[in-house]
């Protein structure tokens, strides 16, 4: 019991540090892309900037707008943050470093991360703000649609490795990463695009679409509640990258360096790519995004599943 408690604490600590690092990385990458310098004043090249931001957010007044649906408004940040923490349970950082190697790990992580949509919708509904409501509605439609191609592409990995345990999948990639197999390359692309949509990143950031909905579902949040949304967003980004690493990029396996380093390198590489994408692409429109999910990604994932499944059985 105490061991799992310690592991939980370690996960929380990791989330805090990882979110702060991601925020710093995001700001730096955006600055480099835009020929700026980014944060420079606090710490070496602004490394302590996220700490300063956190302190600021902690000290800020928690504003409760008039006429909010208090319960859903108050609970929403937790519904967004808690699943993210829960998902960390089954992420294999190295051969030993995994909180809980469930034998349904993939299923668990996929189901847990989809709870987020509930929190986002609660935030949108509870805020008593039209922009928030629109953002929440958009988010619900978006996340549910993109769940389908995401799961279909993950299913292919499960079929390939024959196990749902995260460590088992990593072990199955001992002789070559899954991404190197052509049908799984396609699955990776589908997974990555859908996962980007899952975590509301550009070009699929329509729930918070700054230029249309001000800030979408978290328009009315301030202080620590806003910080929780923020942490959830960045941790979510790390989680989808970590899952992609585990499922397609061979997890913690790699030569010379220890497993943990390889895992973090790969994951943060993907996180950095997500950020690069954010600062490059424009946003797609709601209906375009939905038709992309249902008319392109889902048929493609299904076809991929059918064809490669046929080959596997044969």
Partner 1 sequence: MGELLTVNMGPQHPSTHGVLYLELKMDGEIVVDCKPHLGYLHRSIEKIAENRTYTQFIPFTDRLDYLASMNNNLGYCLAVEKLLNIAVPDRAQYLRVIIAELNRAVSHLVAIGTFAQDLGAYATPLFYAFRDREKIVDLFDSICGGRLTYNYMRIGGVSADIPARTEQIIKDFIAYERKQLIEYNELLTYNVIFLARSKNIGILSKEVARSYSVTGPMLRASGIKWDIRKEEPYSMYDKFDFDVPVGANGDSWDRFKVRLDEISQSLRIVEQAIGGIPEGNPVSKVNRVFRGTGEAYVRTENPRGELGFYLVAEGGFNPTRCKIRSPSFSNLGALSELVKGLNISDAVCVLGSMDIVMGEIDR
Partner 2 sequence: MMIRLFTGFYSILKGFKVTFKNMLKKPVTLNYPIVKKPMTDRFRGMVDLVPEKCVICYQCIKICPTAALELEHKVLEDNKTKTITKFVFNGELCCFCGFCGEICPTDAIFLNKMYEVSYFAHKDLLTIDLMRKDKYKHVDGGESS
The yes or no reply on residue 214 touching partner 1 (CB under 8 A) is yes
29 binds, options partner 2, partner 1, none, Cβ within 5 to 8 A by partner type: partner 2
User: How far apart, in whole angstroms, are the C-alpha atoms of residue 233 and residue 95?
Assistant: 27
The yes or no reply on residue 158 touching partner 2 (CB under 8 A) is no
Q: Which of 71, 144, 257, 281 binds partner 2 (CB under 8 A)?
A: 281
Q: How far apart are the first and last CA of the chain?
A: 46
The yes or no reply on residue 225 touching partner 1 (CB under 8 A) is no
User: How far apart, in whole angstroms, are the C-alpha atoms of residue 176 and residue 90?
Assistant: 22
User: How far apart, in whole angstroms, are the C-alpha atoms of residue 193 and residue 199?
Assistant: 10
The yes or no reply on residue 285 touching partner 2 (CB under 8 A) is no
Closest CA to 166 of 84, 235, 245: 245
Q: Do the beta carbons of residue 156 and residue 183 sit within 8 Å?
A: yes
Q: Which of 33, 55, 257, 312 binds partner 2 (CB under 8 A)?
A: 33
Q: Which of 27, 28, 218, 278 binds partner 1 (CB under 8 A)?
A: 278
Contacts of 45 (CB under 8 A, 6+ apart): 28, 38, 39
Other Cβ atoms within 10 Å of 52 Cβ, number: 14
The yes or no reply on residue 25 touching partner 1 (CB under 8 A) is no
What is the phi/psi pair of residue 180, to 5°? -80, -15
The yes or no reply on residue 291 touching partner 2 (CB under 8 A) is no
Shortest spacing between CB 11 and partner 1, in angstroms: 30
Q: Which of 51, 174, 280, 288 binds partner 2 (CB under 8 A)?
A: 280
Q: Which of 64, 68, 189, 284 binds partner 1 (CB under 8 A)?
A: 284
User: How far apart, in whole angstroms, are the C-alpha atoms of residue 226 and residue 56?
Assistant: 12
Q: Of 129-158, which residues contact partner 1 (CB under 8 A)?
A: 130-131, 134
Q: Of 35-74, which residues contact partner 2 (CB under 8 A)?
A: 35-37, 40-41
Distance of CA 240 to the CA centre of its chain: 4
Site map (CB under 8 A) of partner 1, residues 29-58, x = contact = -x--xxxx----------------------
Q: Which stretch binds partner 1 (CB under 8 A): 113-121, 168-176, 250-258, 275-283?
A: 275-283
The yes or no reply on residue 96 touching partner 1 (CB under 8 A) is no
- Residue closer to partner 1 by CB (options 266, 283) is 283
Q: Do the beta carbons of residue 200 and residue 135 sit within 8 Å?
A: no
Burial of 126 (0-12, 13-18, 19+ CB in 10 A): buried
Q: Of 258-277, which residues contact partner 2 (CB under 8 A)?
A: 276-277
Look up residue 248 and give its two tokens: 């397609």
Number of residues that bind partner 2 (CB under 8 A): 16
User: How far apart, in whole angstroms, are the C-alpha atoms of residue 245 and residue 177?
Assistant: 10
Q: Which of 13, 17, 32, 258 binds partner 2 (CB under 8 A)?
A: 32
286 binds, options partner 2, partner 1, none, Cβ within 5 to 8 A by partner type: partner 1
DSSP string, 153-188: HHHHHHHHHS---HHHHHHHTTTS-GGGSHHHHHHH
Which residues of this chain interact with partner 1, rule CB under 8 A?
Answer: 30, 33-36, 130-131, 134, 202-203, 205-206, 209-214, 278-288
Which residues of the chain form contacts with partner 2 (CB under 8 A)?
29, 31-37, 40-41, 276-277, 279-281, 296
């Amino acid at each position: 019991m105490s061991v799992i408690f310690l592991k939980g604490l370690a996960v929380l600590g990791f989330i805090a540090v990882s979110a702060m690092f991601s925020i710093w990385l995001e700001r730096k990458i955006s600055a480099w892309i835009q020929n700026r310098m980014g944060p420079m004043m606090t710490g070496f090249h602004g490394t302590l900037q996220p700490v300063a931001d956190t302190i600021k957010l902690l000290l800020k007044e928690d504003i409760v707008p008039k006429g909010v649906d208090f319960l859903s408004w108050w609970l929403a940040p937790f519904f967004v943050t808690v699943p993210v923490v829960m998902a960390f349970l089954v992420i294999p950082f190295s051969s030993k470093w995994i909180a809980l190697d469930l034998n349904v790990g993939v299923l668990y992580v996929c189901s847990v991360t989809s709870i987020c949509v509930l929190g986002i919708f609660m935030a949108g509904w509870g805020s008593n703000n039209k922009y928030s409501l629109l953002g929440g509605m958009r988010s619900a439609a978006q996340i549910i649609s993109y769940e389908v191609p995401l799961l279909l592409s993950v299913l292919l990995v499960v079929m390939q490795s024959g196990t749902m345990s995260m460590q088992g999948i990593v072990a199955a990639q001992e002789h070559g990463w899954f991404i190197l197999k052509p049908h799984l390359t396609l699955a990776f692309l589908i997974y990555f695009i859908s996962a980007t949509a899952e975590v509301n990143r550009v070009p699929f950031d329509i729930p918070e679409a700054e230029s249309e909905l001000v800030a979408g579902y978290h328009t009315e949040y301030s202080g620590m509640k806003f910080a929780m949304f923020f942490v959830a967003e960045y941790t979510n980004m790390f989680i989808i990258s970590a899952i992609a690493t585990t499922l397609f990029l061979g997890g913690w396996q790699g030569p010379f360096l220890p497993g943990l380093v390889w895992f973090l390198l790969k994951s943060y590489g993907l996180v950095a790519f997500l950020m690069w994408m954010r600062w490059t692409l424009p946003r797609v429109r709601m209906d375009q995004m939905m038709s992309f999910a249902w008319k392109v990604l889902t048929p493609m994932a299904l076809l991929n599943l059918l064809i490669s499944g046929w080959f596997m059985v044969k």
